[in-house]
Structure formats: C-alpha cells, structure tokens
Structure 1
Amino acid sequence: MVRIFDQGRILSIRNIVILLILPILLILLPGCGSRKSQSYSQFQISGFAQGTSYQISYYAGDAIISSKSIDQKFTELDSSLSIYKPYSLINQFNNSEKGIEMDEHLYKVVQRSLKIWKESDGVFDISILPIVEAWGFGVKRHSNQPSDEVINKALACSGSDKLHIRGRQLVKDIPCLRIDVNGIAQGYSVDVIADYIESQGVQNYLIEIGGEIRVKGRKQPGNQIMRIGIEQPSNDKDEEAVIQKIIEMKGGAITTSGNYRKYIQNGSKKLSHLMDPKTGRPIENEMISVTVRTANAMSADGYDNVLIGKDFEKAFAFLKKHKGLEAYFIYQDKNGTVRDTASAGFFK
C-alpha cells in the first residue's frame, strides 16, 4: 500500500505486535544539495495499473514522456504476464498441454524466476499457482481452507523442476502445471518502464508501482539526492508521520514482501497468502516483512519473496552469499516481540 504525502513517499515500519502491523508506505523525502541544473523541471505521471496505483516522477527540459505511452507499456506487460487477463500469454501457457512460444517479457521473467528458484532451493517457485488457487488467493477468491487431498493434488501439479526453457519455447512436463509470476512481475514492470524512460533520454527519475520503487539520478533543478524514509506510524491515522530512518538512493531499486496484507482468518489464527511450495501450505516463520534493496526491481522483487520465505537465520545466511543484495527485516523474536534489523549496506 502506498500513501502519497506532500513531501513524497515513506517506507513505514511499526514495532508493535504482529497483528497490528500496518502496510509499508513509501515516500520520497526532500533531498539535500544545492547545485542547480540547467532548464530542468519535474514532471509527474500517475494512474492505476496491474491492480494498484503507480507514480512516475522524472526531471527533464520538456514533458517528453506521455501518460499514453506508459499506458501502452502496461497493456503490453499485462498481455504477456497477467493471470487476470484471459487472453494473456501466460494464460495461454497455463491452458496448454505442453507449452508455448514466449515473447520477450515472459522469457525474461521466467528465466530470472528459474534462476532464483535454483538459488533459493525452491523457496521461490512460479509454478505455485495451483497451490495459490487451492487456498483462495488466485483469480477466483474464496476463504475455504483446502483439505489435505486438495493440497496434495495441487502439489502434484506444481514444481519448477517440471518447467523448461528450450530456446524461446516454455515447456511443461505435465498438462496441469501452471505458473503465476506475480511475485516478480511488478518489479520487472518497474524495470521496463525505467528502460523506456531512459530510452527517451531521461536520466533522473523515480518510478513506483504498488510500492515497488526504482530510482536514478537526482531531483532537479536543485540536484538533490532522492531519499526514502522509514517511519514509525501510530494507530492514529491522522497523526503526523515520524521519520525513523532515511535511505539516500542515487540509483537502484527497493521492494517489500510482507505476510500481513493478505490472509485467511482461521479461527484466531491468520494464515498468510505467502505459500510454501514444498508443503503447499502458508509459510509459518518469524518473518513479518522483508525489504530488499539492489540494482534492479525485478531482482529485488524476486529475492524479497525468497528472504521472507526462510527462517531469519537462513535468510541472513542467504543474503551474505549474494553480493549487491541488501535487506531490512522485521520479525518476531522467540518471546513474540517485534524487532527489526538490516544488513550492513542497506542504509548506505
């Protein structure tokens, strides 16, 4: 969830009991620096796409990026990657017996997804759609907890070891295998928009889609560094935000995965929408949210799912093995207290 304030976007953290955790909020804060650029103005494009809001801020001499061109990019992406569009390429694959020929978007997303699947020992798995649907988090929503029989059937129809790239062909070993790239596609969409904006000669921008952010350059004409703030909100929605930390971003991406936004209420227990591909059941660990910072939004989006799917110690061990990947964790300790910590380079 993104809340827009006059001063920009805030990445929000709350150190209270897990059931009261609020969604992460992203805010661009006023920067520092005084060197002026020549003939630069700020231009903004905002709208609704991919089931969420988006905002683009860029700095240029003229308004060279149109909202129409951005809408065309989203239409192109949805036609390839959205399971909510019946005509999409990904749905053509899901409905096929053996597979299809991929376009550039599906190829790049599946290729990166399979790489992350291997690195994560199966924690991140795009073939999880049958499991997601069994728990009511697919296109057709429901709140019925699936039986063991339903879960086992879904598990039999999933597994990225049954998914293969052969040239431009995406091939599956079993007809019932279906994929869902929602865990990485929004980050990829941010990168596609960023690449398009750069192709038009823009070198200073901030792109945000549903809380996934990519930044390059500085705010103009003041040549200010773009900054993401971490706030600690209160229960009072009308109370002014208190900034806890500030991240200066000269470039790169930042995304978040949390287990508190979507859930099924099972008695007094909340079952996360984040699924364990190996058990076919909601992930149960001490993680509340993981925010990842790295060079591009597709990687950040994929790896934040990996880290939140692991126990805290294993997540930190994974992080140390991947140079250029930084993360901020919010988790419950053994006593039930909500704590936070970050890798050494996250705030640098």
Structure 2
Amino acid sequence: MTLLAISTLTQRLIQFTGVWLLMFASVAFSVGNQPKRYELSGYAQGTTYQIVYYAQDSLVSLRQTDSLLHKLDLSVSLYEPSSLINRFNQSAGGLTVDEHFRVLVARSMQIYQDTQGLVDPTVKPLVDAWGFGVVKPSQDPTDAQIKALLQKVGMKHLSLNGNRLLKDRPGLQLDLNGIAQGYSVDLLAGLLESNHINNYLIELGGELRVKGSKPGGEPFAIGIEGVNEDAPDSGPIRKIIEPSNGAITTSGNYRKHHEAGGKQISHIINPLTGYPVQNELISVTVYAQDALTADGYDNGFMAMGLSKALSFLSGRKDIGAYMVYRDKNGAIRDTVTPAFKGYQK
C-alpha cells in the first residue's frame, strides 16, 4: 500500500504553572492506518485540563473524562461544598471515605513520613490563614495565631483503618490539592490506557503525564519556564524536555504569592513552623513514573531547600528533579538530578 500524506505543522505554546507545553498540531490527509489526533478539554478542581491523544478513532470522549473527574471532585475538592473532604473537615471525629479519598490519604501518610513532616495535607488551617485558601482573610496571621493553628496540624492526629478516616482533634482539616491534581492525571491516564490508547499527553492544573509519541515517533516536548528578572511572573522558557514516558509536575514560589510587609509571601507553607517557605529555591520540576508521586513530592522539595532536596534525591532512581534557584550572590542558577528524564543539556 502506498501512503500519501500532505501535512502542515503549526505550533501552539500553552502556559501552565512553571511549565510550558509545546503542542504541535498536525493537519494531514492520509490513507491507511495513520493515527488521528484528538483533543479534549474541560474544567475540574478549580482549574482546567486538556488531553491530546493519537488513535485510530475517538475512543475516549469528553463525557467520560468529565464524569471521572466529577466523581473525584465530589470526593476531595474543596470547591464542592458537599464533597467528602469538606464533610470530613467539618466533622468532629471523622467519617467513612471512598476509595479515591483513601488512596490519597494513604499516599500522603507515606510521603509525610518520607519528608519528615514537610509534606502534610493537614496544613489547611495555616494555608487559609496566610490567604491561599478558598476564603481570603483580611490580614496575615500573628505569631500567636500561628502558634494556636499549629495545634491543629499534624498527620499524627489522623488514623486510617480501611475506609474509616478518623481524627483525634476536631479542628483538624485536610487540603489534598497538593496531591489530588497529580492523582487526577493518573486517573485520566488509566482511562486512556484501558481503551488501548498509548500515545498521549495529559495536563491538569499544570501537572503533566506523557506516554508514547506523536505519529512518526516525534516526542512530546515540554518547556520549563525560567524567571525574568524584570518581570518574575512572565519568564521565558529555560529548558525543553522530552520525557517520553512518565509524569512532570512543578512547584514554584514566583507565581502563587502575595506581598506582606514589603516581602513576597510564598503559598508553600512549612507545616513544622507555620510560616511560608523562604529559601533559595525558585522552582522545582519533578519527574516520576506517575503524577501522584511527582505531585506529592514537589512542594516538599521546595520546603527542603536546595541542599537537603539534592541529598534526598541523590540515591533515588524512581524520582528526579530539575531545580532553579538563586545562588548566594543572587544570580539565577539551575541544576538537575540523574533520575530526571528527558533533560537535554
């Protein structure tokens, strides 16, 4: 069989939190078994998502992806008033949770132990107090208020027995946003793969998962955003990576912040001190086989700071990171760990 194709290549550059996705859309006229490009986009968890996949037919629909993500929203979204997580936060002692909630809490407990408490979804009262929650306070918390709020923080006050999640302090609240979006991406990947789709790129709230390639073996390209000294909110692309298979998530302190006392306050709160993280790290882009893992650790690495994060990752083959930071003279530098996939010098 002779395959004839006439194609034009157009490029779109789409910006997410700390990550730029280079999407190449092809328009082709062909015969035979050339896979087609399909794109789905929607809204979930207070943010947007989009999926690009290549297949012989439209095997997954927007109705399916919206339904899957809606079920997760009903479980762990703080934006859904009647969600399980809001009901848990309002409860005195806990409740029975569904499988999504159970998986996320169980994984959070593991990461909490692994990072010695620097990743802790019970930090919600502090996140709210610093103005990064659903409701915005009129002013930043005082030292006394932070001390009081710390009494309501700590995974040690949670216990998970099967699907029964209990807390021993009534004021304890969960915010799973730091890991739920990565989990959402994994759920979408599972949906695609269950329909025999093995060439795709998924993005939700800036969290990405990639498998396979575009037709002809062309890899998906992802741009990692740099920082513009004159306009920190609009930096150029610093690196382009082609991870092929796996998940990429980014945590940074240069977009989600506000100013207080002449200083920029990061949205990343240290659950051990109660205060926003302030160190040399500007952003950390994490690679792992699944987005749940990558998303679960990226804020933790930001909280660790450069030296501790590099030490933590030095012996890991399952997770890697690309870090942008300021050196002691204020110059912007970057570094990468061996397990970070798709990195080009």
The TM tier, using the shorter chain, reads 0.7 to 0.9
2:219 aligned with 1:225: yes
CA RMSD of aligned residues (A): 2.4
Q: Which moved more, 1:39-48 or 1:269-278?
A: 39-48
Q: Secondary structure at the match of 2:304?
A: coil
**1:326/1:105 Cα in 2 relative to 1: closer, same or farther (>3 Å)?**
same
- Aligned mate of 1:166, from 147, 150, 161: 161
**1:65/1:142 Cα in 2 relative to 1: closer, same or farther (>3 Å)?**
same
- Normalising by structure 2, we get a TM-score of 0.88
Equivalent residue for 1:7?
11
**1:27/1:8 Cα in 2 relative to 1: closer, same or farther (>3 Å)?**
farther
Q: Structure 1: how far apart are the matches of 2:257 and 2:169?
A: 30
Summarize the alignment of residues 206-221 of structure 1 with structure 2, pairs less than 5 Å apart: 206-220=201-215
Indicate conservation of the 8 Å contact 1:113/1:302, yes or no.
yes
Equivalent residue for 1:155?
150
Structure 1: gaps (5+ residues):
13-22
Equivalent residue for 1:17?
none
Indicate conservation of the 8 Å contact 1:9/1:25, yes or no.
no
TM-superposed CA distance for 1:210, in Å, is 1.5
One-letter code aligned to 1:198: E
**1:281/1:42 Cα in 2 relative to 1: closer, same or farther (>3 Å)?**
same
Indicate conservation of the 8 Å contact 2:130/2:141, yes or no.
yes
TM-superposed CA distance for 1:321, in Å, is 3.3
Q: Structure 1: how far apart are the matches of 2:128 and 2:69?
A: 25
Q: Deviations over 1:78-117 (max 9, x none)?
A: 1011112110011111111111111111111111111000
TM-superposed CA distance for 1:331, in Å, is 0.9
Q: Structure 1: how far apart are the matches of 2:200 and 2:162?
A: 35
Q: Secondary structure at the match of 1:201?
A: coil
TM-superposed CA distance for 1:253, in Å, is 0.4
Q: Which moved more, 1:114-123 or 1:150-159?
A: 150-159
TM-superposed CA distance for 1:324, in Å, is 1.4
Q: Secondary structure at the match of 1:215?
A: strand
Indicate conservation of the 8 Å contact 1:203/1:217, yes or no.
yes
Q: Structure 1: how far apart are the matches of 2:292 and 2:321?
A: 15
TM-superposed CA distance for 1:148, in Å, is 1.9
TM-superposed CA distance for 1:264, in Å, is 2.6
**1:123/1:234 Cα in 2 relative to 1: closer, same or farther (>3 Å)?**
closer
- Normalising by structure 1, we get a TM-score of 0.87
Indicate conservation of the 8 Å contact 1:113/1:126, yes or no.
yes
Indicate conservation of the 8 Å contact 1:10/1:230, yes or no.
no
Q: Structure 1: how far apart are the matches of 2:225 and 2:124?
A: 34
Q: How many residues align?
A: 326
Q: Structure 1: how far apart are the matches of 2:166 and 2:204?
A: 30
- Aligned mate of 1:303, from 286, 297, 304: 297
Q: Deviations over 1:243-301 (max 9, x none)?
A: 65332222100000011222231132111111010111111111111000110001100
Equivalent residue for 2:177?
182
Equivalent residue for 2:38?
43
